[in-house]
């Protein structure tokens, strides 16, 4: 808060005239530069003009929907995938081709057929996926980029959590592999990948600041759409975010977040191990915020949800994350380990396990009764 206060003070005393005025649709140049520099350390070498500031990542999804999707167009998505993306694309009348994923992310061996069906683009979250918490393996990343290029299908790479890795090595982004593998132009003037990220998980979601990285002609088109959508993102929040993030503060802050969230993830994994019955499995996220729980078949997820709520524990039932077949999600729940203390997490998982167990027994009992008929 100290840092935010100092940033507000500086912006309002030294730059108030600009910070409270209209600004460029593309965003505040120093912030775009800071983002470009920051991404370069993850191998994504771009210039400020490749960066479009958006009003949160959600707006990035909306602008991409606006640019690519006409009613009835197909979008290739993972199953499960991020609910907010489906909400953004649905408005433009998107239909979906879903490709299953496993613990190594999108199953690229099942990708050719869907790519052949001519989707407008594919939407993937390679790092610590929302909702599944899985990470796309390096081999599959290579394959994905090559297949997308072969079929001429653009990739939208959504990477809100990429900096929040708690174990293992950073894996190259699709936007980087696209350039390396396909020897794209150094200046990122062409390319098959549109990359999205955000300050929501590293600075503050309430700022609503995200960004799109793309070749200049795509940025130009998206900026035109953004101009019609909200003219530009709040100059004030952009100036404040820049002052907060600059001079290495963002890096230091991300390190703190990593430490806090890693501990919370570990507590949740441990509690799941301790309290959940053997029939239940879950993913082991290497980063991010989410963990995906697989329940035995036949369990009524909505009943589990109600029981959990009675115990003041919430989760997101899996059905919202499937574009084509919500039923597929009915055996899953998404848990968020980032927004509670270790004590709360442990107690929450204990209660959730009790709720699950009570319904497991009921399910078993029902089966027995059925068998008995």
75 — alpha (psi -120 to 50), left (phi > 0) or beta?
beta
How many Cβ atoms from other residues are within 10 Å of residue 258's Cβ?
16
Residue among 100, 139, 228, 326 that touches a second copy (CB under 8 A) = 228
Does the protein bind a second copy through residue 363 (CB under 8 A)? no
Does the protein bind a second copy through residue 295 (CB under 8 A)? no
Q: Which stretch binds a second copy (CB under 8 A): 9-17, 102-110, 128-136, 180-188?
A: 9-17
Does the protein bind a second copy through residue 227 (CB under 8 A)? yes
Does the protein bind a second copy through residue 220 (CB under 8 A)? no
Residues 6+ apart with CB under 8 A from 216: 49, 50, 189
Give the Cα separation of 310 and 104 in Å (integer): 35
Residue among 233, 283, 307, 336 that touches a second copy (CB under 8 A) = 233
Q: How far is CA 218 from the centre of its chain?
A: 21
Residue among 100, 118, 187, 205 that touches a second copy (CB under 8 A) = 205
Residue among 84, 216, 296, 342 that touches a second copy (CB under 8 A) = 84
Residue among 32, 184, 232, 334 that touches a second copy (CB under 8 A) = 232
The torsion angles phi and psi of 44, rounded to 5 degrees, stand at -90, 95
C-alpha dihedral (100, 106, 109, 111), degrees to nearest 10 = 80
Per-residue binding string, a second copy, 310-339, x by CB under 8 A, is ------------------------------
The single-letter DSSP state of residue 1 is -
Per-residue binding string, a second copy, 43-82, x by CB under 8 A, is -----------xxx-xx-xx---x----------------
Does the protein bind a second copy through residue 206 (CB under 8 A)? yes
Q: Are 195 and 213 in contact (CB under 8 A)?
A: yes
Measuring CA to CA, how many Å separate 246 from each of 205, 240, 337? 18, 10, 28
Angle, alpha carbons 16-21-22 (nearest 5°): 150
In the complex, the smallest distance separating the C-beta of residue 320 from a second copy, rounded to whole angstroms, is: 13
In the complex, the smallest distance separating the C-beta of residue 50 from a second copy, rounded to whole angstroms, is: 22
In the complex, the smallest distance separating the C-beta of residue 265 from a second copy, rounded to whole angstroms, is: 20
Q: Would you say 127 or 238 has its CB closer to a second copy?
A: 238
Does the protein bind a second copy through residue 256 (CB under 8 A)? no
Q: Would you say 23 or 131 has its CB closer to a second copy?
A: 23
In the complex, the smallest distance separating the C-beta of residue 232 from a second copy, rounded to whole angstroms, is: 7
Count residues binding a second copy (CB under 8 A): 45
Q: Would you say 23 or 80 has its CB closer to a second copy?
A: 23
Buried b / exposed e over 216-252, threshold 16 CB at 10 Å, is: eebbeebbebbeebeebbbbbbbbbbbbbbeeeebee
Residue among 197, 237, 283, 336 that touches a second copy (CB under 8 A) = 237
Does the protein bind a second copy through residue 4 (CB under 8 A)? yes
Residue among 29, 38, 90, 311 that touches a second copy (CB under 8 A) = 90
Does the protein bind a second copy through residue 91 (CB under 8 A)? yes
Measuring CA to CA, how many Å separate 321 from each of 154, 218, 275? 22, 28, 26
Does the protein bind a second copy through residue 9 (CB under 8 A)? yes
Q: Are 79 and 318 in contact (CB under 8 A)?
A: no
Does the protein bind a second copy through residue 83 (CB under 8 A)? no
Measuring CA to CA, how many Å separate 217 from each of 64, 196, 225? 14, 16, 13
Query: N- to C-terminal Cα distance for the chain?
Result: 64
Does the protein bind a second copy through residue 225 (CB under 8 A)? yes
Give the Cα separation of 309 and 351 in Å (integer): 10
By the criterion CB under 8 A, which residues form the site for a second copy?
Answer: 1, 4-5, 8-9, 12-13, 16, 18-23, 54-56, 58-59, 61-62, 66, 84, 87-88, 90-91, 204-208, 225, 227-237, 240
């Amino acid at each position: 808060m100290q840092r935010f206060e100092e940033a507000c003070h500086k912006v309002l005393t030294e730059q108030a005239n600009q910070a409270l005025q209209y600004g460029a649709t593309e965003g505040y140049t120093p912030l775009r530069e800071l983002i470009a520099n920051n991404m370069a350390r993850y191998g994504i070498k771009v210039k400020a003009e490749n960066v479009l500031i958006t009003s949160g990542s959600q707006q990035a999804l909306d602008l991409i929907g606006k640019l690519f999707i006409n009613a009835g167009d197909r979008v290739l998505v993972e199953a499960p995938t991020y609910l907010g993306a489906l909400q953004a694309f649905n408005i433009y009348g998107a239909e979906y081709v879903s490709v299953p994923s496993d613990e190594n992310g999108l199953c690229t061996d099942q990708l050719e057929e869907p790519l052949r069906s001519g989707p407008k683009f594919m939407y993937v979250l390679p790092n610590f996926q929302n909702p599944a918490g899985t990470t796309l393996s390096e081999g599959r990343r290579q394959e994905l980029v090559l297949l997308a290029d072969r079929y001429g299908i653009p990739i939208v790479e959504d990477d809100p959590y990429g900096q929040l890795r708690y174990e293992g090595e950073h894996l190259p982004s699709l936007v980087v592999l696209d350039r390396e593998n396909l020897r794209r132009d150094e200046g990122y003037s062409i390319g098959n990948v549109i990359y999205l990220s955000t300050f929501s998980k590293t600075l503050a979601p309430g700022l609503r600041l995200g960004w799109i990285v793309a070749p200049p002609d795509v940025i130009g088109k998206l900026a035109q759409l953004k101009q019609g959508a909200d003219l530009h993102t709040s100059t004030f929040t952009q100036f404040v975010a820049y002052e907060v993030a600059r001079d290495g503060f963002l890096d230091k802050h991300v390190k703190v977040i990593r430490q806090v969230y890693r501990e919370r993830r570990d507590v949740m994994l441990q509690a799941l191990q301790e309290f959940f019955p053997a029939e239940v499995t879950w993913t082991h996220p290497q980063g991010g915020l989410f963990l995906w729980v697989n329940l035995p078949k036949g369990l009524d997820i909505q009943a589990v949800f109600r029981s959990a709520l009675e115990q003041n524990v919430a989760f997101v039932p899996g059905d919202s994350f499937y574009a084509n077949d919500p039923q597929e999600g009915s055996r899953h729940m998404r848990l968020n380990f980032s927004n509670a203390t270790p004590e709360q997490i442990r107690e929450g998982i204990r209660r959730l396990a009790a709720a699950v167990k009570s319904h497991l027994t009921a399910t078993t009992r029902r089966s027995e009764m059925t068998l008995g008929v």
